[in-house]
């Protein structure tokens, strides 16, 4: 069985919570453990936040942007999930400014914006919480983050009990 969903939303921080909850809801029927659910939510949150604050340099982070409904944010983030049996693939893509040195960006604690007082742990968290992580990016070409995780590995333990 294959199941797929895709959401596209404005690159504003209000949508960070929406994105991770949408992905969590998409996999809910697989009966993931609390830990798996938290892992996926954290990884999605990291990737989407990166797109918003680095890809589109939307740094505000709070304050419920007082935007007119007429005015549409030009930057979009696309989250695509493909579920094949218990394998979840997540793709988070933006068409922002891209990453110059992907290898460097993925180093723990590395950040291009130390003044934001963020931890520089975004990619490290994605790597730790998902089974596989792949980043495709070039300056001016946007960024695609692909993550894979097997869901529901805990279910057989529940059956035993």
Partner 1 sequence: MDFQIIDNCLMIRLPEEIDHHEAGFICETADRYLLREDVRNVVFDFERTRFMDSSGIGIIMGRYRKISCFGGRVYAIHVDRQIERIFKLSGLNKVVEILNMPESLQGMDSVAESY
> Which positions lie near partner 1, rule CB under 8 A?
13-14, 16-17, 20, 34-35, 38, 41-42, 45-46, 49, 52-53, 60-63, 116-119, 121-122, 124-125, 128
User: Which one, of 125, 128, 147, lies nearest residue 136 by Cα?
Assistant: 147
Give the torsion through C-alpha atoms of 82, 87, 88, 94, to 10 deg. Answer: -70
CB of 1 to partner 1, least distance (A): 29
Report strand pairing: 87-94 vs 2-10. Answer: unpaired
Q: Known catalytic residues?
A: 46, 50, 118
What are the phi and psi torsion angles at 33 (to 5°)? -70, 165
The CA-based diameter of the chain, rounded to the nearest angstrom, is 55
| Neighbouring residues of 30: CB distance < 8 A, sequence distance ≥ 6 | 83, 86, 151, 152
CB of 13 to partner 1, least distance (A): 4
Alpha helices in the chain (DSSP H): 15-27, 34-50, 102-105, 122-129, 155-160
CB of 146 to partner 1, least distance (A): 19
């Amino acid at each position: 069985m294959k199941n797929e969903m895709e959401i596209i939303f404005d690159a504003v921080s209000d949508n960070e919570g929406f994105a991770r909850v949408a992905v969590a809801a998409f996999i809910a029927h697989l009966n993931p453990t609390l830990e798996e659910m938290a892992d996926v939510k954290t990884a999605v949150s990291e990737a989407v936040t990166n797109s918003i604050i680095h890809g589109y340099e939307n740094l505000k982070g709070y304050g419920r942007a007082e935007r007119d409904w007429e005015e549409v944010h030009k930057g979009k983030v696309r989250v695509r999930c493909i579920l094949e049996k218990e394998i979840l693939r997540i793709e988070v893509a933006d068409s922002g400014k891209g990453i110059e040195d992907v290898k460097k960006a993925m180093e723990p604690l590395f950040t291009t914006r130390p003044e934001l007082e963020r931890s520089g742990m975004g990619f490290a968290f994605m790597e730790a919480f998902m089974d596989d992580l792949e980043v495709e990016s070039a300056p001016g070409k946007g960024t695609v983050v692909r993550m894979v995780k097997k869901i529901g590995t805990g279910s057989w333990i529940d059956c035993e009990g």
